[in-house]
Amino acid sequence: MTTGKVFKYGDNVDTDVIIPARYLNAPDPAELAKHCMEDIDADYVDRVRPGDIIVGGANFGCGSSREHAPIAIRASGASCVIAASFARIFYRNAINIGFPILECPEAAASIGDGDTVSVNFDTGEIVDETTGRRFQATALPPFIGRIVENGGLLPYLRARMEREAK
């Protein structure tokens, strides 16, 4: 469960604006966080507070495969991303590092910039506290849910490989 203020962006938020390539030479999460969303919203880093929520439109996270993008968002303090749809590599990367993302076109369309929103990660329920509207995000497939429950792909893989070795 998380509650936070919304930073709302449009369609096709690409990984170059989430974390520009000029900062990829220093992949430490805290360093990346200093430049998160810099080329789409220069004020984001100064305004974001722990637990805040990024809401995007269609195809969020398109472009480069840089895992630095969800790493930067998480390190900036954001608790999750809600979008109408996610570009597939960003989707994988977020799942693989155990960072919550919620696909929900209705929420993405309705929620406004600056709204206060609550998210229940167990049920996928999204509540816009500012307007009172409720939304249901698409459930994660069970296999992907297990990766997230294990804290990401590598812990999941390690547990599985150890199980198979026995």
Q: What residues make contact with other proteins under the rule CB under 8 A? A: 12, 14, 16-17, 20-22, 24-27, 38-40, 58-59, 62-68, 71, 85, 87-89, 92-93, 96-97, 141, 143-144, 147, 152-155, 157-158, 161
For other proteins, give the closer residue by CB, 109 or 154.
154
CB of 3 to other proteins, least distance (A): 28
- Give exposure, 91-128, as e/b (b: 16+ Cβ within 10 Å): bbbbbbbbbbbbbbbebbeebeeebbbebeeeebbbbb
For other proteins, give the closer residue by CB, 127 or 144.
144
CB of 97 to other proteins, least distance (A): 6
For other proteins, give the closer residue by CB, 25 or 132.
25
CB of 33 to other proteins, least distance (A): 15
Residues forming beta bridges with residue 60, ordered by sequence position: 86
d(CA 2, CA 88): 25
CB of 58 to other proteins, least distance (A): 6
Cβ-defined contacts of 37-45 (< 8 Å, 24+)? 37/7, 37/73, 37/76, 40/9, 40/13, 41/7, 41/9, 44/7, 44/76, 45/76
Do 70 and 51 meet the contact criterion of CB atoms below 8 Å apart? no
**3-class SS at 108?**
helix
For other proteins, give the closer residue by CB, 117 or 148.
148
For other proteins, give the closer residue by CB, 132 or 163.
163
CB of 86 to other proteins, least distance (A): 9
